A and B are shown apart, each in its own frame.
Chain A
Amino acid sequence: MEHGPAKRFVNAIEPLIWGPFVTGNFLTPLVFPAIVLMLGIAQPLGWLPADALSYERAHALATHPITVLGILVVMPLAMLAGSHHLRFGIIDVGSAEHDGPVALLLYGLWQLGAVATAVAILRIFFA
């Protein structure tokens, strides 16, 4: 089958993506449920102490070296796992015909997301 340039490029980089994808696929369900529970459910429903997620405490937590490292590792890997999974979901239920452009879009979004995460972390240090 003849492939367009997008698909040829995606085929060339795909071996590099499987490793980080597997890592992201492993880490995301390890870390995200507790964060969703605390930030998305417990906090809005008032189950947490008033100062648990106060600005000062959240700022201190987010600038701790372990947190910074964790965010810079987990968030981009979660985004990559999401993109890669979505790509193969689209191939499986939709069509493999447009895989090249779809994959470029999804991996491009992942790169933007990774940069946005790094910039967001950097901004906290200057807040």
Chain B
Amino acid sequence: MAIPAHEDAMRPRENGRTRTAAPMMAGNWWTASPRYRAYVAYAFAGVLFWLQALILVRGLWALGTGEVAWNAYLEDLQNPIYVAFHVLSLAVLVWYGARTYFKLFVKTQPPKIGPLPRPPLGVFPPALAAAWIVVSLALIVVLGGIWP
């Protein structure tokens, strides 16, 4: 079944002299290829961003309520359903990050960054991987009670 597509889909650079029909697309287009499915999964990872953000806000709220609420929050997180959800979330977030930093980032860089020429594209993946490792290790060290 055809459904309306985004109004800018397949829009020509300049409008033609005659009106054209609104763009349509097949309703199940995204099932046709693994690439399309990955693209849609990437977009719907937004649900996960929201759920994780809400879990964290709930933690902050508990921290503001007091020690009993904070301990209850940590106890809730021990529910096997929560743990399974977090394992799934971790896998999706790592996949999402790898796709963002190593696949999409280099394709979306302009030729100039401000007044400066863009560094060679090959520089970005190792630099982003290093940033990812450094930030993750810093958070693991702090949240793991190692430092400070």
Contact = CB atoms under 8 A, between A and B. Distances in A.
Given A41-B86, A75-B53, A96-B5, A53 B61 contact: no
A82 interface: yes
A29 interface: yes
B97 A29 contact: yes
Contacts of B89: 32, 36, 40
Given A35-B139, A38-B140, A89-B46, A96 B6 contact: yes
B90 interface: yes
B43 A92 contact: yes
Contact of A82 (B3, B53, B71, B137): B53
A62 B30 CA distance: 42
Contacts of A123: 60-61, 64-65
A83 B47 CA distance: 8
Contacts, number: 188
A69 B78 CA distance: 28
A44 B135 contact: no
Smallest CB-CB A-B distances: 5 pairs: A52-B145, A123-B64, A40-B86, A29-B97, A89-B43
30 contacts: A29-B93, A29-B94, A29-B97, A34-B143, A36-B52, A38-B140, A40-B77, A40-B82, A40-B83, A40-B90, A41-B86, A44-B82, A49-B145, A59-B63, A61-B142, A62-B60, A75-B53, A78-B52, A81-B49, A82-B47, A83-B50, A85-B45, A91-B5, A109-B50, A113-B50, A120-B63, A120-B64, A121-B60, A123-B65, A127-B64
